[in-house]
């Protein structure tokens, strides 16, 4: 039986154990709009995948907050609806993409493909 699910330990699955996509180092400017409160948070990504990003910010949003995320790098932009999955106070937050609509899904796919090929 897998260590993560055996009865011998009560260890919870870590975020890394639950990731569905490989993350790659990636820097882009980020703006998040909290859909409930309307507050904005800004930061810079440290990594990216097809499933989400880690946003470095001194003011992370609350766990499970839903947000409209805008990533900007050079002259390209990705917009998505997302949810905050992990918060590291004064460091940042892990954000999972819930919905990335066209044409932004194509931009995101190109960014990740270029990073995958450069490994």
CATH number assigned to the domain comprising residue 42: 2.40.10.220
Closest CA to 80 of 95, 60, 58, 62: 95
Q: How many residues does the chain have?
A: 119
- Give domain status of residue 8, yes or no: no
- Give domain status of residue 11, yes or no: no
- pLDDT for the residue 19: 55
- Give domain status of residue 33, yes or no: yes
Instruction: Kindly tell me if the per-residue pLDDT of 1 is higher than 60.
Output: no
- pLDDT for the residue 28: 98
- Give domain status of residue 13, yes or no: no
> How many domains, in total, are found in the chain?
1
Question: What is the pTM assigned to this prediction?
Answer: 0.82
- Give domain status of residue 9, yes or no: no
Q: For residue range 9-35, what is the model confidence (pLDDT) as tens digits?
A: 444 545 445 557 899 999 999 999 999
- Give domain status of residue 68, yes or no: yes
- Give domain status of residue 45, yes or no: yes
Torsion angle defined by CA atoms of residues 91, 71, 20 and 111, in that order, rounded to the nearest 10 degrees: -120
Both structure tokens of 89: 């106070």
Q: For residue range 80-113, what is the model confidence (pLDDT) as tens digits?
A: 999 999 999 999 999 999 999 999 999 999 999 9
- pLDDT for the residue 27: 97
Q: For residue range 32-54, what is the model confidence (pLDDT) as tens digits?
A: 999 999 999 999 999 999 999 99
Which residue range(s) make up the domain with 43? 19-117
Closest CA to 63 of 34, 38, 40: 34
- Give domain status of residue 3, yes or no: no
């Amino acid at each position: 039986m897998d260590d993560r699910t055996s009865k011998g330990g009560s260890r919870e699955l870590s975020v890394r154990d639950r990731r569905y996509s490989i993350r790659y180092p990636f820097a882009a400017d980020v703006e998040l709009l909290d859909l409930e409160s309307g507050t904005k948070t800004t930061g810079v990504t440290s990594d990216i995948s097809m499933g989400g990003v880690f946003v470095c910010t001194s003011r992370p949003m609350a766990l499970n907050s839903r947000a409209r995320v805008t990533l900007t790098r050079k002259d390209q932009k990705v917009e998505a609806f997302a949810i905050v999955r992990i918060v590291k106070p004064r460091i940042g937050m892990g954000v999972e993409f819930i919905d990335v609509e066209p044409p932004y899904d194509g931009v995101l796919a190109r960014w990740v493909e270029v990073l995958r090929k450069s490994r």
